[in-house]
Amino acid sequence: MQTLDAIPAKRQTERITCSYINATSSVQVVRIANIENWYFERVVFPGQRLLFEAVPGAKLEIHTGMMASSILTDIIPCEKLRVRETEPLTVVA
């Protein structure tokens, strides 16, 4: 896991591992902005899988890139993206 944009210290014990795949043909910017004292943002290319840590209650905003702008296309609760130990992870190259 990347330590950039670390989860606030008081929430460290609550963290969950999440996975998101950009299944579109467009570049997306994903961000979590609803957690106090924490901001997470990444660019996700078409077909790319992003593994990240979040806290329960976090919501992943999906912004799809258009010509010189982006549109908020979805908001997904991170609990729905949570990786379970029994799930096999497939690496997308």
The string of pLDDT tens digits covering residues 1-11 is 444 566 666 66
Domain assignment present for 60:
yes
Domain assignment present for 21:
yes
Domain assignment present for 91:
no
Confidence tier at 15 by pLDDT (50, 70, 90) = confident
Could you report the per-residue pLDDT of 33-57, keeping only the tens digit for each?
899 888 899 999 999 999 999 999 9
Question: What CA–CA distance (Å, rounded) separates 59 from 74?
Answer: 10
Domain assignment present for 45:
yes
| Number of domains comprising the chain | 1
The mean per-residue pLDDT over the stretch 9-30 comes to 86
Residues 65, 29, 6: CA angle, nearest 5 degrees: 170
Domain assignment present for 33:
yes
The tokens describing 67, both together, are 């010509």
Domain assignment present for 1:
no
Question: What CA–CA distance (Å, rounded) separates 28 from 45?
Answer: 6
Q: Domain range spanning residue 54? A: 13-81
